[in-house]
Amino acid sequence: MKKIKYIVIAGSSGGHILPAIKYLNNLSKIKDPNKILFITNKIGKNYLDKIKSVKINKLILNSKNKFSFVIKIFLKTFLIFLFNRKIILIGFGGFITTPILFIAKLFNIFLLSFNKIYIHEQNIIYGLANKINYLIAKNIFISFPKINMRNKEIFVGNFFTDKNMPREKLDDNFINILLIGGSAGSLDLNKKMLKEIENINTNNLDKIKFFIQIPYTYFEIYKKIYNDLSGDIRYKFFTFKNNFNPREYDFIISRSGSGSLNEILYYTNNVFFIPHLISRDQHQKHNLNYFLSHNMSQNKFYIPNKKNLTSRFYFNRLINPYSIEKIICYTTK
| CATH value at residue 280 | 3.40.50.2000
What is the CB neighbour count within 10 angstroms for residue 183? 16
Looking at the structure of the chain, the number of domains it has is: 2
**Res 158: pLDDT:** 82
Instruction: Report how far residue 4's alpha carbon sits from residue 89's, in angstroms, rounded to the nearest whole number.
Output: 10
Within a domain: 169:
no
What is the CB neighbour count within 10 angstroms for residue 305? 13
Within a domain: 186:
yes
**Domain match, 111 and 199 both:** no
Residue 147 phi/psi, 5-degree rounding, is -75, -45
* pLDDT tier at 311, thresholds 50, 70, 90: low
| N-term to C-term CA, the chain | 26
Residue 289 is part of which domain span?
Answer: 175-293
Instruction: Report how far residue 23's alpha carbon sits from residue 20's, in angstroms, rounded to the nearest whole number.
Output: 5
Within a domain: 170:
no
Three-class SS of residue 223?
helix
Mean pLDDT, rounded, for 81-94: 94
Instruction: Report how far residue 172's alpha carbon sits from residue 175's, in angstroms, rounded to the nearest whole number.
Output: 7
- Nearest alpha-carbon partner for 141 in 155, 159, 127, 131: 155
**Res 106: pLDDT:** 95
Whether the pLDDT of residue 58 is over 60: the answer is yes
Among the ranges given (257-261, 265-269, 275-279), the one the predictor scored with the smallest mean pLDDT: 275-279
Instruction: Report how far residue 8's alpha carbon sits from residue 53's, in angstroms, rounded to the nearest whole number.
Output: 14
Contact 100, 39 (CB under 8 A): yes
Residues facing residue 60 across a β-bridge: 40
Whether the pLDDT of residue 28 is over 90: the answer is yes
**Domain match, 216 and 149 both:** no
Within a domain: 163:
no
For the chain, strand residue ranges (E) read 6-9, 36-40, 57-60, 88-91, 116-121, 139-142, 153-155, 175-180, 208-213, 234-238, 251-255, 271-274
Please give the share of the chain, as a percent, with pLDDT higher than 70: 93
Would you mind telling me the total number of residues written for the chain in this entry? 333
Residue 53 phi/psi, 5-degree rounding, is -95, 125
**Domain match, 231 and 112 both:** no
Most confident segment among 10-14, 56-60, 236-240: 56-60
